[in-house]
Amino acid sequence: MKESTDRYQQWIVGIILTVAGILVALPFIWMVFSSFKPESEISSLVPTLFPKQFTLENFQNLFENMNFGLYLKNTIIIVLCSFVGLFLNAMAGYAFAKYQFKGKDKLFYLILATMMIPGQVTMIPVYLILNKMHLTNTMAGIVLPGLVGAFSIFLFRQFMTTIPDELLEAARLDGASELRLFMQVVLPISRPILAVQGILTFIAGWNSFLWPLIIANDENLYTLSVGLSLLKGQYGGNYALQMAGSTFMVVPIVIIFIIFQKHIIDGYTISGMK
Amino acid sequence: MKKSKTPYFFIAPTIILLSVFSILPIVVALIISFTDINLTGLADYSQINFIGFDNYKEVIKDPIFLKSILNTLFYVIFGVPFVIILSLAVALLINFGNARIFKAFRVIFYMPSITNVVAVAVVWSYLYNPQLGLFNYLLKLVHLPSVPWLQDPIMAKISLIALALWRAIGVNMIIFLAAIQGIPKTYYEAAQLDGANGWKQLTKITIPLLRYAIFFVSITTMIGWLQFFEEPFVMTNGGPLDSTTSVALFIYHNGFQLSNFGYAAAGSFILFIAIIIITLVQFKFQNKNVDY
């Protein structure tokens, strides 16, 4: 008797979640299907879910007339640069985890304190500083301000504190230099946290929008999201084209996320609660 | 541990970058908030005048700034409780399920939060479109009148909250799930022996033990909504009639569109101080409530 009410409840919860899940996924589904419809089908007053007439014309249009190839290249450059930042964060996290040095605690608290500063306060001064350094409208100006981050340093430090000191000492006795020790011993051990941070870094770099928008005056430096917002402004009525642009931005991230979701979601559990 | 220079070499790049792009800007922001710096001042520093508290006096009388404060309060008052309740509810439901399939729901609910905000705005603008949008079409199917999703001042705020909710549930759901799974099973076994039903277990064990997670989520969510920016920026650009302008968007407009850098910096400091005060009040409130 108890067994059957339990199964009954499981089914109800499953149905509630399925309905909610469909609602949450609806914008994605709608976006992908619409991107394969011709413009005439989009603007008909009776919408269809599946494209009646399947077309790749919108995607072709993005690359042939809208410069999306260039935007894609810029976005990939930004992603690659942000991995350099990830490396710098790991280095700093390692130093805070495994070395004793003067001013260590004070510097670490200073880094943590930068997390409290709202982006709106630093936005304008950072622009003025970059302007003074003649870095506005350059790739360096887009990349540098967000290159390192306190939260990432904090997570690396948390993880690397758990590396046994004996292991590091043994490598030192074998004559490894400090930098080699970091590259060949510490980084390989830190694979789990590197995986989580790497995926999050990729997503953040791929999605970067506001800073490229502020810094880049030149179309040559636009990222995919800036290009997409341009598309929204200029071709406001052409939803087929806009949906193709969005699909092109979103689908790679969704695929990467689904492949690595276990790392990200479990990473939260590991790093968040310790 | 004797190699005294090595750690400095490891931390130097991050310390330099954070100093230049996080700490120095705070000082710069404070200084320029007392000046009249604008585009002319940017080109020629001798044109910048020190004007004392004038920016602050002016900005608190600016009707658009006052409107943006009211809008931000609207976002916070409706946004924060909805984020907490919905993400907690989803986490509890997912945790309740035994079957493997329930894990897949984590992925679905998390997906919106990793999606690019411009792409989100583009897709939702289409969904919200008064003539071609899916939402109004669905309303028409069930013979309801169409809704001016982004055209009416109040409705536009609600539409933006709905969109932000959709993006916010994922991360907070994961935090709640982690916390729920951290509760020792023995508590529930003891409660079952005492004959407590599911509802009793939820209200007497789960929710009280989630207090820390709920507090964490409410602080971060509150700070997030106080800085609400991207959604109104890309979806409505503050319209109609500034009814969706948040404080953060007001700062952006004044700084980068009108180039009143000093004036915008003054506005940003008011926001910063408000965030600090509200966070401290929440911490104080929480400390009074902890009694175990």
Which residue type occupies A72? L
Evaluate if residue B290 carries a pLDDT over 70. Answer: no
Q: What residues 191-230 of chain A have any CB closer than 8 A to a CB of chain B?
A: 203, 206-207, 209-210, 214, 224-226, 228-229
In chain B, residues with a C-beta closer than 8 Å to the C-beta of A122 are 21-22, 25-26, 29
Over A119-149, what HEC string results? HHHHHHHHHHHHHHCCCCCCHHHHHHHHCCC
Domains of chain A: 66-234 (1.10.3720.10)
Is B162's Cβ below 8 Å from some Cβ in A? no
* Most A-contacting residue of B9, B20, B21 (CB-CB within 10 A), to test interface: B21
Please tell me which of the candidates A13, A27, A224 has its beta carbon nearest to residue B124: A27
Q: Which of B254, B166, B284, B81 has its CA nearest to residue A27?
A: B166
Evaluate if residue B292 carries a pLDDT over 60. Answer: no
What is the least distance, in Å, from the CA of A61 to any CA of chain B?
Answer: 17
CB contact under 8 A, A232 and B121: yes
CA distances, A27 to each of A34, A93, B134, B164, B194 (Å): 10, 39, 10, 13, 46
**pLDDT value of position B20:** 93
**pLDDT value of position A3:** 63
**pLDDT value of position A65:** 82
> Residue B97: which pLDDT band, with cuts at 50, 70 and 90?
confident
Can you tell me the distance from the alpha carbon of A180 to that of A165, in angstroms, rounded to the nearest whole number? Answer: 16
Give the residue ranges of chain A where pLDDT is below 50: 1, 272-274
Query: Residues A174, A177, A181, CA angle at the centre, nearest 5°?
Result: 80
Q: Name the H helices within A66-118.
A: 68-98, 104-113
> Residue B89: which pLDDT band, with cuts at 50, 70 and 90?
very high
**pLDDT value of position A1:** 44
CB contact under 8 A, B93 and A13: yes
* Mean pLDDT computed over B40-51: 82
What is the least distance, in Å, from the CA of B176 to any CA of chain A?
Answer: 10
pLDDT tens-digit series, residues B130-162:
888 888 888 888 888 888 888 888 889 999 999
Is B161's Cβ below 8 Å from some Cβ in A? no
Cα A230 vs. chain centroid, distance in angstroms?
21
Can you tell me the distance from the alpha carbon of B170 to that of A20, in angstroms, rounded to the nearest whole number? Answer: 13
Q: Which fold has domain B54-289?
A: MetI-like fold (1.10.3720)
Is B154's Cβ below 8 Å from some Cβ in A? no
Please tell me which of the candidates A145, A224, A265 has its beta carbon nearest to residue B21: A145
**pLDDT value of position A56:** 84
In chain B, residues with a C-beta closer than 8 Å to the C-beta of A254 are 111, 114-115
Q: Which residues pair with B35 in a beta bridge?
A: B50
CB contact under 8 A, B14 and A88: yes
In chain A, residues with a C-beta closer than 8 Å to the C-beta of B139 are none
CA distances, B203 to each of A3, A46, B192, B197, B285 (Å): 23, 47, 14, 10, 21
Tell me how crowded residue A106 is: count the other CB atoms within 10 A of its CB: 9
pLDDT tens-digit series, residues B3-39:
578 899 999 999 999 999 999 999 999 999 999 888 8
Tell me what the pLDDT averaged over chain B comes to.
Answer: 88
In chain B, residues with a C-beta closer than 8 Å to the C-beta of A27 are 112, 120, 123-124, 127, 166
Q: Which chain B residue lies closest to A97 (C-alpha atoms)?
A: B7
CA contacts within 13 A on the Cβ side of A239: 24
> What are the counts of helices (DSSP H) followed by strands (DSSP E) for chain A?
15, 0
ipTM here: 0.87
* Most B-contacting residue of A40, A49, A120, A202 (CB-CB within 10 A), to test interface: A120
> Residue B129: which pLDDT band, with cuts at 50, 70 and 90?
confident
**pLDDT value of position B291:** 45
pLDDT tens-digit series, residues B186-225:
888 888 888 888 888 888 888 888 988 898 899 889 999 9
**pLDDT value of position B85:** 94
Tell me how crowded residue B4 is: count the other CB atoms within 10 A of its CB: 11
Taking the CA atoms of residue B258, residue B262, residue B265 and residue B266 in that order, the dihedral angle to the nearest 10 degrees is -110
Domain-wise residue ranges, chain B: 54-289
Tell me what the pLDDT averaged over chain A comes to.
Answer: 87
Q: Which chain B residue lies closest to A133 (C-alpha atoms)?
A: B20
